[in-house]
Amino acid sequence: MGLTGKLEIEKEIQTQASKFFHLFTKQLHHVPNITDHIHEGELHEGEDWHNVGSVKKWSYTIDGKVVKCRERIEVYDEVNNMITFNLFEGDVMEQYKSFKLTLKVSDKVGGAGGGAIAKWTVDYEKLNEGIPDPGGYLDYVTNVTKDADAHLLTA
């Protein structure tokens, strides 16, 4: 059992890939209004929410507990609908030396009108062997994905 790990989950969504990706990049500040799993988001450093290097402060629920962290965008790839968030400071650093969430959204076979697949990857390094894998984050991104998809379908 190592200190580094990777967890992945794929969630089928009805929204087309570019529209879903746009929410998590250009409209990230709206996500706390869409889901009960995120309580607060605030731009802390940078000129806007979606530039590489911009820093946000977040409050959200993992495993039934409200936690806080700061997050910085490390990778923003609009061509491939992929974004990587580096979580640092706050509660996440009590158990993990490094923690990154990557979202990649791809249209399903058959074109943009047939929905998409949202793939979330959690890359992490534990502080010690006694720390559990961050499975609660897979539940978290699954719930946020469902809420965002439902919102975009009615928007």
User: Tell me, which fold does domain 4-148 have in CATH?
Assistant: Alpha-D-Glucose-1,6-Bisphosphate; Chain A, domain 4 (3.30.530)
Reported as a pLDDT band with limits 50, 70 and 90, residue 111 is low
Distance in angstroms (rounded) separating the CA atoms of residues 100 and 148: 20
pLDDT number for residue 113: 61
pTM of the model: 0.93
Q: What does the block give as tokens for 52? A: 């590489």
Residue holding tokens 């959200």? 60
> What confidence tens digit (pLDDT) does each residue in 12-64 have?
999 999 999 999 999 988 999 999 999 999 998 988 888 888 999 999 999 99
> Which DSSP state fits 90?
S
C-alpha distances out from residue 82 to 5, 36, 61, 128, Å: 20, 24, 24, 30
Q: Where are the domains of the chain?
A: 4-148
